Each structure stands twice: as C-alpha cells, then as structure tokens.
C-alpha cells in the first residue's frame, strides 16, 4: 500500500457495505434519471431517498441513445435532456447533495459522455463533485484498462454488469476488475418493471460468488415490496429503478414530488 492509498478516505460505497455487513442487513440501491423533471428536483429527491432508507443512489446521466434502457427510463432520459441537464450541471447537483448528505452516489452513464468530455477530466471532475462510483454501461471490460487506472487513481469504484447469459469464465474476468459491488442483471433485455421474479437466481449468484468477495446487487425488473424480499434472500443488495422512475413520471409536476416518491421507496426499503 502506498502513502497515497493510506491517506485516501474509504470510498462511501465500500463503507456502506461494510456497515451493512456489521448490521447484518441487505442494501437498497435506488435509480433515478438525473434532471427528471429538473436538477432541482433531482437534488430534493436524492435527499428524500437517503432519508427513506436508500443505501446507494444511482443517477442516470441523460443520453440521447440509451440502448440498455426500457421505455420508462428512456423517457426519463428524454425529460432530463429536455430540462437542459448536462453532465456539468449534474456534477454541480452532486456537489450540492454532498453538502447535505453522505449517501453513496453512482453515475449510471454511457461511455460516449465521458469520452467527449475527456476521460481523465470527467473522472477527476466526478470525484471532486462527490461521486463514489461509475457504471459505464457500454464499455467492454476488456477495453477498460485506461478507464480503470484513472478510476483507481481518483478513488472511484468501477462497477460492472454481469448478465444471465455471461459464461463463467467471463464472470471471473469481470469480477476481477470490479470494485464497490457487482451489479447482476437478473434477466435478459433492457430495464423495466416485471410481474415475476426470475428462477435460478440463487444459482447465478453462487456462480458469481465463486469468483469474488465483492457485494452483489441484483436489479432489472424489481418493482414491489414482495419482489424486494424475495430477491434480497440471495444477494447483498436490491436495485430498483423503473418503478421509482415511473413514480416520478406520474407525479413530476406535484409540489410534493419528493415526499410522494420517498413514501413509495420507504415501503420498498422496509421490506428488507
């Protein structure tokens, strides 16, 4: 360990999972689209969600071609772009959140956004604003050497996706590169709410655990308290996105938007 490593504070994501382990609790990860309906609402929602039991907050950076997302999150990205949200504006919002809350923050981001800004410049700016990790949706791990070096130097967690179709040898390769937590996509396809929970989840989680000690978060399709309870039995954290984004879409113009969304999320976090 270098002197720099010894001086660097523990990443908030790592600290949160350590606290969860000590408390023998499962974590809750909430996703919202940044700038939906505007960045002032994103700040207010972030603070309310942190007070509603959310352990890690994922902020989706609006992008014009969100290929990994289903309709609900695509529309959120569209609303974010329409509200004038930019990466720079989002980082300013993260800095504002950070003055009031230590909730770990992950940016759910498409690589072209970082590439256009300049990879090092973006990563350094994200770290300075108070971001704790990045989930680069369309960056293949095999092409991520420079990205991972810059992330490690900045003290950010590199979070990677593993899918139901990922073969075990590639699970091992992805897990070796990850930090913070592994995000397991519980079903094939894009993001979105589902009525059922996939079968054989325990087997897939066991396959990942053979290759890493990192916490495993499961997402894609989880939308109600009963599903949260079922999924949490097999993993370290549950991710809910589209169901929360759908609440924002329904109540986006309401003056009490944060309270409405916070109440919905509280029902989910209490299921843990």
Q: List the domains of the chain with CATH numbers.
A: 11-269 (3.20.20.70)
Which one is catalytic: 36, 38, 55, 69? 69
Cα distances from 212 to residues 13, 216, 242, in angstroms, run 16, 9, 28
Give the model's pLDDT for residue 190: 47
Q: For residues 248 and 255, what is the distance between their CA atoms, to the nearest angstrom?
A: 12
CA–centroid distance for 227 within its chain: 18
What pTM was estimated for this model as a whole? 0.93
Answer yes or no: 55 catalytic.
Answer: no
Give the model's pLDDT for residue 186: 82
Q: For residues 249 and 252, what is the distance between their CA atoms, to the nearest angstrom?
A: 5
Q: For residues 157 and 132, what is the distance between their CA atoms, to the nearest angstrom?
A: 6
pLDDT tens across 187-215, in order? 654 454 445 556 689 999 999 999 999 99
Sign of the alpha-carbon torsion through 242, 54, 269, 151: positive
Q: Is 12 in contact with 225 (CB distance < 8 Å)?
A: no
Answer yes or no: 259 catalytic.
Answer: no
Give the model's pLDDT for residue 121: 98
Give the model's pLDDT for residue 69: 87
pLDDT less than 70: residues of the chain = 1-8, 187-199
pLDDT tens across 44-90, in order? 999 999 999 999 999 999 999 998 888 999 999 999 999 999 999 99
Give the model's pLDDT for residue 8: 62
Angle (CA) 257-260-264 rounded to 5° is: 135
Give the model's pLDDT for residue 221: 85
Give the model's pLDDT for residue 117: 96
Collapse the DSSP code of 59 into the 3-class scheme (helix H, G, I; strand E, B; otherwise coil) and give the result: strand
Give the model's pLDDT for residue 67: 85
Which one is catalytic: 58, 132, 234, 236? 58
Q: Which of 46, 50, 47, 52 is nearest to 33 (CA)?
A: 46
């Amino acid at each position: 360990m270098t002197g720099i490593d010894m001086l660097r504070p523990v990443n908030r994501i790592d600290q949160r999972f350590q606290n969860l382990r000590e408390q023998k609790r499962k974590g809750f990860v909430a996703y919202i689209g940044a700038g939906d309906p505007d960045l002032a609402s994103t700040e207010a929602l972030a603070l309310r969600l942190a007070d509603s039991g959310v352990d890690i907050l994922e902020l989706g950076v609006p992008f014009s071609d969100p290929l990994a997302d289903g309709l609900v999150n695509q529309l959120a990205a569209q609303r974010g772009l329409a509200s004038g949200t930019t990466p720079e504006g989002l980082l300013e919002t993260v800095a504002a959140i950070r003055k009031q809350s230590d909730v770990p923050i992950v940016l759910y981001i498409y690589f072209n956004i970082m590439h256009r800004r300049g990879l090092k410049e973006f990563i350094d700016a994200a770290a300075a604003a108070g971001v704790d990790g990045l989930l680069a949706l369309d960056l293949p791990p095999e092409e991520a050497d420079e990205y991972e070096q810059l992330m490690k130097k900045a003290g950010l967690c590199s979070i990677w996706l593993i899918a139901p179709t990922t073969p075990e040898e590639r699970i091992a390769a992805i897990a070796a590169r990850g930090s913070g937590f592994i995000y397991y996509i519980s079903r094939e396809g894009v993001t979105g709410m589902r009525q059922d929970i996939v079968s054989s989840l325990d087997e897939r989680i066991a396959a990942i655990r053979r290759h890493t000690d990192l916490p495993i978060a499961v997402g894609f399709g989880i939308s109600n308290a009963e599903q949260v309870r079922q999924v949490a039995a097999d993993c370290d954290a549950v991710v809910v996105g589209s169901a929360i984004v759908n609440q924002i879409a329904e109540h986006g113009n309401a003056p009490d938007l944060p309270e409405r969304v916070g109440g919905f999320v509280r029902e989910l976090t209490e299921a843990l």
